Amino acid sequence: MSAALLIGLGFSSSPVLAAGEQPLANITHDVISFLGFGPDQANNPTDPLPVPEQIKTEVEPREIALTAVAQVAAPSVETPLHRLFCVEYARMRSGLAVFGDAKHWWDRARNLYRRMSRPVEEAVMVFAGSKRLKRGHVAVVTGIVSPRQIIVDQANWENKGEIDHATPVLDVSPGNDWSLVRVWDIRSGTFGSHVYAISGFITKELTTASRD
């Protein structure tokens, strides 16, 4: 949002500020942050490390095989005309009117959209904020492969503003409750080594305070 537009909306650009007023730069930063944009969105790191052999051994008894990836469309990367952040892409794909950093989507969807603990197609999966994912992450569920594996489309997972299509996500939670996941790394051709906490899944179905 340009300074001229902010001034037109009634924000003053004068260096003389009354008590309690914020400089224009701070207002601009706040607006950008609310929309979920800004340079800090690129601080979410990529996950290029393959799953160690001992971790693969733990997953296989649960009948989750990497060959399941071959049963669906192959993961691919699309370069859009301009850099996309995960939140703006998720809004466009899902139609959800939720704003701000990805880590806040779960709370902000309360009493507005139905929130679920397990994945359903077209729902938005919300990654919780963490030391590694400072602003969280969101992805759109496009397919259910098995009780422990789904496919998502997402943006900026590799911090290049790209769109990652048909990305496999594996539930590695002890109770199969989708609270912990690993994400497919297209470069290494296997699931990444890092485990990410999931807040839940937001659907397009409207809800009310009494139902949520």
Residue 144 lies in a domain: yes
Q: Are residues 96 and 154 in the same domain?
A: yes
Tokens, residue 54: 């001992």
Domain with residue 152: its CATH number is: 3.90.1720.10
Structural domain contains residue 107: yes
Q: Is residue 137 part of a domain?
A: yes
Q: Are residues 96 and 24 in the same domain?
A: no
Domain extent, residue 7, equals: 3-35
Do 127 and 176 belong to one domain? yes
- Lowest-confidence pick of 43-57, 86-100, 107-121, 182-196: 43-57
- Check whether residue 76 and residue 13 sit in a common domain: no
In this structure, are 47 and 28 located in the same domain? no
For residues 184 and 198, membership in a common domain is answered with: yes
Contacts 24+ apart (CB under 8 A), 137-140: 137/44, 137/86, 137/102, 137/196, 138/86, 138/87, 138/90, 138/102, 138/105, 139/86, 139/90, 139/167, 139/169, 140/89, 140/90, 140/93, 140/94
Cβ neighbourhood burial of 116 (10 Å; 0-12, 13-18, 19+)? middle
Report how far residue 136's alpha carbon sits from residue 32's, in angstroms, rounded to the nearest whole number.
16
Q: In this predicted structure, what is the pLDDT of residue 156? A: 96
pLDDT, mean of residues 185-200: 94
Query: In this structure, is residue 169 part of a structural domain?
Result: yes
Average pLDDT over residues 30-40: 57
The model's pLDDT over 128-179, given as tens digits with 9 standing for 90+, comes to 999 989 999 999 999 999 999 999 999 999 999 999 999 999 999 999 999 9
Total structural domains in the chain? Answer: 2
Residue 10: CA atoms inside 13 Å, Cβ hemisphere, count?
1
156 or 4, greater pLDDT: 156
49 and 29 both lie in a single domain:
no
Q: What is the pLDDT of residue 209?
A: 54
**Assigned domain for 211 exists:** no
Is 61 in the same domain as 13? no
Distance separating alpha carbons of residues 169 and 150, to the nearest angstrom:
5
Is pLDDT above 70 for 43?
A: no
Three-class SS state of 28: helix
User: Do residue 7 and residue 65 come from a single domain?
Assistant: no
Look up the pTM and report it.
0.71
> Are 114 and 196 contained in the same domain?
yes
In a domain, 212, yes or no: no
Q: Are residues 87 and 150 in the same domain?
A: yes
Token couple for 7: 């001034």
- Structure tokens, 118: 């397990």
Are 201 and 119 spatial neighbours (Cβ–Cβ below 8 Å)?
yes
Same domain (yes/no): 88, 192: yes
Quick one: how many helices (H) and strands (E) in the chain? Answer: 5, 9
